[in-house]
Structure 1
Amino acid sequence: MRFEMKEVGFKTNVEYGELHVSGNEDYGFRPYQLMVASIAVCSGGVLRTILEKKKLNIEDITIDTEVKRNPEYANRIEKINIHYTIKGENLKEDQVQKSIHLANKNCPMAQSVAGSIEIEETFKLI
């Protein structure tokens, strides 16, 4: 990827389109937002694949996140809480819990920050 400087931030072109990144959300996505989104959506995508391979009837998955940052240490991300709301039929909590654990182990983004950022995953079935 190649990033070009803008007046405020940087931009790049990727297959889907132009991506603007800036520390000021008026001019683009903030870097921490992209990191959290990458981890949450990667984990959710792997989870979806695992649940589908187990032939579980999943209608929808919603992902909510909460981020804990440390303002005393470069405002670094210290913890990401990922909460899945999973809608489907005949879902069993133990199956979903095991699938979430497996998804975390197989998500490249989550594994890239393992040991640096704590990732806590919870879920609710509807």
Structure 2
Amino acid sequence: MKATVDWTGNASFRATSGTGHSVQLDGPPDRGGEDLGPRPMEMLLMGVGGCSSFDVVSILQKSRQDVTACHCELQAERADAVPSVFTSIHLHFVVTGRNLKEKQVERAVSLSADKYCSASIMLAAGGVKISHSHEIRAED
């Protein structure tokens, strides 16, 4: 896997993935940023949510659950001192579908947390406390 990051002025950078997708990153205004994009640590947090959400949906689909939506809310805490690393991250999944089984959703979230989500497992190995919760909503 490869990526590049190019400075575009002030506290702004263009990050490009090896597959050619780009995102504009920016620092906070009090540090020279112009609010042109997410902060790098926000991107890291969104990456954890994306990685785990991908797993949850994939596992549920493979277990023949009729998933129509998956929403992941993330809440992170960071250390007060520099480096201001993540100290904890909580992922809350809101899974919507028809006739979803509680055990299947619980299993999907657990498998992502314990076996498949490389991003959250890597951060947990580095000392970040990762927690998960979920709720199921019936499709109207």
TM-score range, shorter chain: 0.7 to 0.9
In structure 1, C-alpha distance between the alignment counterparts of 2:89 and 2:57, rounded to whole Å: 19
- Give 2:99's aligned residue: 90
Distance 1:108 1:33 in 2: 17
Matches within 5 A, 1:7-86: 7=9, 8-14=11-17, 15=19, 17-24=21-28, 26-86=35-95
Offset, 1:4: 1.6
Q: Give, as a single letter, the amino acid of the residue that structure 2 aligns with 1:9.
A: S
1:120 paired with 2:122, answer: no
Between the two proteins, the alignment pairs up a number of residues equal to 126
Report percent identity of matched pairs.
21
Runs of 4+ in 1 over 4 A off after TM superposition: none
How far apart in 1 are the matches of 2:15 and 2:38? 12
Structure 1: runs of 5 or more not aligned: none
Q: Give the counterpart letter for 2:16 in structure 1.
A: N
Q: Name which structure has the greater RCO, CA cutoff 8 Å, separation 6+.
A: 1
User: What are the ranges of 5 or more consecutive residues in structure 2 without an aligned counterpart?
Assistant: none
Amino acid at match of 1:48: V
Tell me the C-alpha RMSD between the 2 structures: 1.7
How high is the TM-score relative to the length of structure 2?
Answer: 0.80
Question: Taking structure 1 as the reference length, what is the TM-score of the superposition?
Answer: 0.88
Measure the CA separation in 1 of the matches of 2:15 and 2:94: 33
